[in-house]
Chain A
């Protein structure tokens, strides 16, 4: 029987800001995406008491809590705090899987002799985090990742919930399926359409019925309803070795924009960032994508398959610009995203022509300078005046990974 801990840091970004600024402690405050636009990323528990929620616009949040204090996100603080938390978690288990910047699974199976039973280990983890970082977390303990995650969601903040094998049936019988990690609104609605709203019902549904509706996922869904999950805890070291499927960046513009030339500048900046990440990871990609979000939040993407795999910002920019010029903009644009997929690792094509060789040497030289002195120290003249680092932390961020928020 496995023993898995799921550690979920409580209101992580807001709690870090409250640690960093004593004047914010015990106050209704929230971390926001950017100083000008965006949404509430992380409200403190004091703000949540007023009804402030993640995803609210500033206006909605201020109406819910007029004294709310807003703090722009500082990803460097959160990523550093996460790295320190990983250091703590690794003292308890060699198998630590970072689920997101503020959540991790620890496989503590076999640690009992050294550290005590799973509950004792969880208490020690909470104490270390509080004593060393001044932060609280909720921990769920279960025989697998699904139930450990469910446990940590059941008691917040500062919770500790053990779901032991003999309790599984009782815990899951009346639990709404949407409480399970992996069942989102659309899957939840599809299940509801079949008359399945609780985990108990899901677990009793014949596999063939689920498979005929959801395909191969059917068996997995039924297992979820029964609290069965064989997914291993993938250690950080293993996940670093996994090859990326795509790399991309997006930015919310400071103002809605309907000028194609301005949008092209943003695309050049994003293409440069994507190109640098691709080169850092020794990737080339054959498919480039452009994502646009209009001012009414309607979001859509276009993609294009290239004849040759690319990792140079200018190649990415040229392909994306062509796609942009084919789109008649219906509304001003709020967000722009550029990504490259169909990636190939260590793809190598020796440049045959002088121009290509020179371009590669220039890119290598720029990378070397920017590695040493910081991103965009040397860049295109068109970006020199307007480069602005969007302070957004990516879900793909991993400590030591190629993604630097």
Chain B
């Protein structure tokens, strides 16, 4: 297998993005549950929050949400320092 073929295989898995998005989320003690986000003027309703995890940018915790609208999978990131949401990847 050539490296070009490999690249194609990997590319089909996820596209890295870094888009500012508007997100509606429910904040309750200990949890944040995104409900929908807008992308390219369209509202994407979240059907499943498949997985959540946390990283850090320096001392700032970043919360990651792998979400699905039933058709595609998206990664939303919430910066707890700036309160900003980003769309980080889609697959």
Contacts and interface: CB of A to CB of B under 8 A. Distances in A.
Interface of A: 16, 19-23, 35-36, 58-59, 62, 69-72, 76-77, 80-81, 370-374, 377
B29 interface: no
B53 A80 contact: yes
B58 A36 contact: no
B6 interface: yes
18 contacts: A16-B51, A19-B50, A20-B50, A20-B73, A21-B14, A23-B73, A58-B6, A59-B1, A62-B9, A70-B6, A70-B9, A72-B10, A80-B53, A81-B53, A370-B58, A371-B58, A372-B58, A373-B59
A58 B13 contact: no
Contact of B66 (A20, A35, A59): A20
Interface in B1-53: 1, 3, 6-7, 9-10, 12-14, 48, 50-51, 53
| A contacts with B: majority SS | helix
B57 A373 contact: yes
Interface core residue of A20, A62, A374 (most chain B CB under 10 Å):
A20
A352 to B, nearest CB: 33
A61 B25 CA distance: 41
Contacts of B10: 35, 70, 72
Nearest to B3: A36
A46 to B, nearest CB: 16
A373 B58 CA distance: 4
Q: Which of A35, A72, A377 has the most CB of B within 10 A?
A: A35
A374 B73 CA distance: 28
Nearest to A75: B55
Interface string B56-68: 1111000010101
A379 to B, nearest CB: 14
A371 B58 CA distance: 5
A76 B88 CA distance: 14
B68 A374 contact: no
Contact of A22 (B9, B12, B48): B48
A377 B56 CA distance: 13
A22 B55 contact: no
A76 B53 contact: yes
Contacts of A76: 53-55, 64
Contacts of A81: 53
Nearest to B55: A76
